[in-house]
Structure 1
Amino acid sequence: MKKIRVGIFGATGYAGLNIFRILSNHPFVDLKYLSSHSNSGESYKKLFPSFNTDLVLGPTVPEVAEDLDACFIALPAGETSKFVINLIKANNNIIVIDLGADFRFKEKEIYEKTYNIKHNCPEILKESVYGLPEINREKIKTAKIIGNPGCYPTSVLLGLYPIIVNFKESIENIIADSKSGVSGAGRKIAKDYLFCEINESVKPYAARFHRHQPEMNEQIKLISSKAPDLIFTPHLIPMQRGILSTIYVFFKENLPAEETIKELYYEKYKNEMFIRVLDSDLPSTAMVKSSNLCAINICKTSDKTLKIFSAIDNLIKGASGQAVQNLNIIFDFPENLSLTNLPEVI
């Protein structure tokens, strides 16, 4: 099989670093270009000695698209939609997988309100596909622009999906409580993420509003227009990576037995190689560390109340691994190619 030529724009952040690491083992990918705004001109290996590569970081310029079949973009919100316009002009056939927020929404008004910036290419936004493979695989296969889901939405939506599909009109309220490792904030220096500020402490943040909440609500409404808006609170926890979401779903009517509900999960995810519906254990971040897996279990606590537990690695299934999963689907590679590493259990 012929190799595809791939670039990573924004290759020095945590998402870009993990995409490089994953693709380094991909037999059908030729990594051709890496860009960085702050480190252009520097050797990638010099900055990150664990990577054995001769590639030198270049500027984030669209002209290089002429020599690429696909690219990953890990730029701040608002920057990608500016960049993609000229990227597509340089190569109308290029596949774009955006790890930022610019192509996650179907409605530009929701995006603009959420991020308080104007979307630069709403006509391209209309063509984009939300890259959650377990829900949108068929659409992803023919997509040219992928909006890679956020980390919190990935954990919450995968946990909720069988419930939203099967109990569309009987859900009264949904509350999601998510705890994330510090890498979810990105590779930056800020007081709130210093070791002494986060160690031995857990705290909620963005309690009134988090930017992933409208993303989750839009996707839930696409599954069922009658579903209620989700209430969401994220927490920062003193570990490097991982997300654990506990989702509380309240129903208008009595639920069937827990075993019956569990069967809905087994049935929905029976062919999904990255979803682990657990028989008895509850999910933990250790179960999925450094892997593209999502571990899920449920617990019926009353006739009208269900708890859902969902764990992912925020940098892999919540970002880079899922992005590579989308690449594999688009180019008709085995979906798990370069993504088969087992979790680091200790």
Structure 2
Amino acid sequence: SQIINITKGYEGRLHLMKWMVSNFRLLLFSNFLRGLEESNNISGSNEAQQMNLYPMLQALYDHITENEDIPLETFNLDPALFGVNQAQDKNEFANYIKKVDLTSENNTVPTEYFPFKFIDSGQFGRAYQELKSTKLAEPPKRNRKTVISESLTNVETELRSELAAFLRLRSLNDLPSAEIWVKSLKEKDPANTEAFKTRIVDIYQQARRQLYENSLIEVINYENYKSLSAYHSARIFLYIIDRALSKLPWENVINFFSNTMLDIANDMTMSQAPGFQWLLTDSRYSPLRPITNDLLIANLTNFPAFKQSFDDQRQRQKSSFKSDCGKVLE
């Protein structure tokens, strides 16, 4: 194994970012799973489980086994925030991101992580305003990508709040000194995480309903599109979560976290503070606690309804999901 300095140069900070994003993502999915289990609409009866829970259980299993993490290339990182300003250095920075993304299993990175394009969240609104200005009565038709874009905005808002709680910050715009941060640490996990699992499930249920609205282009012109299955909508939502994750201000987060850890390492008082020690050793929701996909997979496979969630039809949908995206979305 190699020790990488996270306080000098960008190499160590990129590895730290990869590790922190992966941990945070797995915690999000774990909380989402708990929210699904506790939702009466999704898990309250055998019928609800068959219609709502089973497709998501298989979708989540497929998603995390196919995508162990999100490639850093999808984050559109600003080299300047990593101290890289020269053109040649920017090329080296981009090449190093590819190196970090290489998987140990097959040493390759998918050329395109997301199986469908995300539209700009303001695009629909601008189109509507333009039509209003021309005094045309007909508003632009909504399609499933409009729903996806709106859901992405909602998920991103929740993830910003959740990432701040994960890092024990008031907000991602309020990055204190190491001393102030350590003094603010409590010997308990943030309460926000309990509310998050309910809110993210609510967003999922809203998105799923809207993906089938009769006013959507794909529903009106149903003969031109492949039918959208419950498995499709579940997988789409998991990619929405990943896209929202990639839009968070990770450059600032990583710079704050690496500098804070350096200051704490050089200060005995801060490193021995009860709140920091609790974060190191006892917190179940800590940015310092390593998590693996195996843990989430174990939680999934131990889920009472997990075995019932798999059927031949959804197995076929898994193999064709990425190609199907172009057939179910406008």
TM-score, normalising length from structure 1? 0.27
Higher strand content, 1 or 2: 1
Tell me which of the two structures has the higher relative contact order, counting C-alpha pairs closer than 8 angstroms and 6 or more residues apart. Answer: 2
TM-score, normalising length from structure 2? 0.28
Higher helix content, 1 or 2: 2
